[in-house]
Amino acid sequence: MSKSLLQIVCLLAVCASPLFAGVTVSSPANGSTYAGSVPYAASATSMCDKGVASMGIYTAPGVLTYVVNGSKLNTSLALGSGTYDTVVEAWDYCGGASTTPVKVTVGSGGGSGKTFSNIQRAGGWGRYGQGPPNFVDCSPSPCDGISFSMAQGVKSPALSGDDAVFNVGGSKAYSDALFNNHLIGPASSQGMPDSNHTLVPTLHDFTYDVYFFGSNLGLSQALEFDMNQFFSGMGFIWGHECRIAGGNEWDVWDNQSAHWTPTGIPCHPNNNAWNHLTIKVQRTSNNELLYQSITLNGETYNLNWTFGHGSAPGSWYGVTINYQQDGNDKQSSYNIYLDDLTFSYE
């Protein structure tokens, strides 16, 4: 059987030659939903003495969208909204093939939801240092023994080719670099000042979706990803912290008690690879913060924890996001790259 004919046959049903052990897809999970690009990570094994020749992704029957040589595949596909019956296929040097089907849905979350895309490219990013014991904002860099920076339009490591790179360093141990962006409300980077204060109080569901890359993740005490909403004197801070050097666990922020709460959810991002993170939260009908789920590299943990809200500092109003890098006991300098940063709201 020719290779092209074998590919066609294998698209009609899951198939494997007698020599193939199979294709293992670690991301995306079958039946999963994404707000932006879809991350694919897979590997294949074969009993062919020459091994696996190549792997590819079909996004529709006969539509081979991506091919790579070797027995491992790690890429991200930018797909339009809709549901896709994708297939990951591998071919060995003995003429054999094996497939694994993966159904994915791409959209902004349904309903009346809206999405801001590629926020890492946007203007309006604030940059601050914070150091112990009080973690009061300082700026510009360097300040209080902390150095921090952000640069946009970075081409490598390549995902979209328009990354942003963030750095923290300095001399004061356990200090942080905080970066934030006002999305809706005063100083909106998205052209949505909501001057009449009619939009922000109606919003209740939020999704933070981002790819991040680090070549020395072990130097990070923690990486933090936050969503914030302020109106009518109330403050809602959905804080999510992936402790890396701090113990490889997710913590979430308790607004009322103003402290981090361990979740028991592991956080082991991959070094020297793009990691895909999706966080979903909600403001409930009685104005509580609901932490819904955390998905890292295709593995979802449903939390469904609620906390009471806090107070808005002064007259703060709007919806903002934060990204933060925490320094370790030596305040070792390290870079993290962000790409395809999207925020969905409804």
Give the β-pairing of 82-92 and 97-106.
antiparallel
Mean pLDDT per 10-residue section of the chain, whose length is 346 residues: 38 46 84 71 91 93 90 80 90 93 71 77 95 94 97 88 94 97 94 94 96 97 98 97 97 94 97 95 96 94 95 94 98 97 93
pTM to 2 decimal places: 0.70
Q: What are 81-104's pLDDT values in tens digits?
A: 778 999 999 999 999 999 999 998
Instruction: Give the pLDDT confidence score for residue 111 in this predicted structure.
Output: 41
CA distance to 181, 204, 237, 287, 307, per residue, from 230 (Å): 14, 12, 9, 11, 16
**CA 45 – CA 271 distance, rounded (Å):** 23
Residue with token string 């990570």: 41
Residue 227, strand partner residues: 238, 321
* Full set of structural domains in the chain with CATH: 3-106 (2.60.40.10), 114-345 (2.60.120.200)
Spell out the residues 6+ positions from residue 78 whose beta carbon is closer than 8 angstroms to its own: 36, 37, 160
State both tokens at 12: 């009609």
Tallying the residues shown for the chain, one arrives at 346
Spell out the residues 6+ positions from residue 5 whose beta carbon is closer than 8 angstroms to its own: none
| Cβ-contact 324, 223 below 8 angstroms | yes
Task: Name the 3-class secondary structure at 30.
Answer: coil
Instruction: Give the pLDDT confidence score for residue 113 in this predicted structure.
Output: 55
Q: 270-273: long-range contacts at Cβ-Cβ below 8 A with a sequence spacing of 24 or more? A: 270/297, 271/214, 271/215, 271/216, 271/217, 271/218, 272/213, 272/214, 272/215, 273/74, 273/213
Instruction: Give the pLDDT confidence score for residue 29 in this predicted structure.
Output: 80
| Cβ-contact 116, 342 below 8 angstroms | yes
Q: What are 119-148's pLDDT values in tens digits?
A: 999 999 999 999 999 899 999 999 999 999
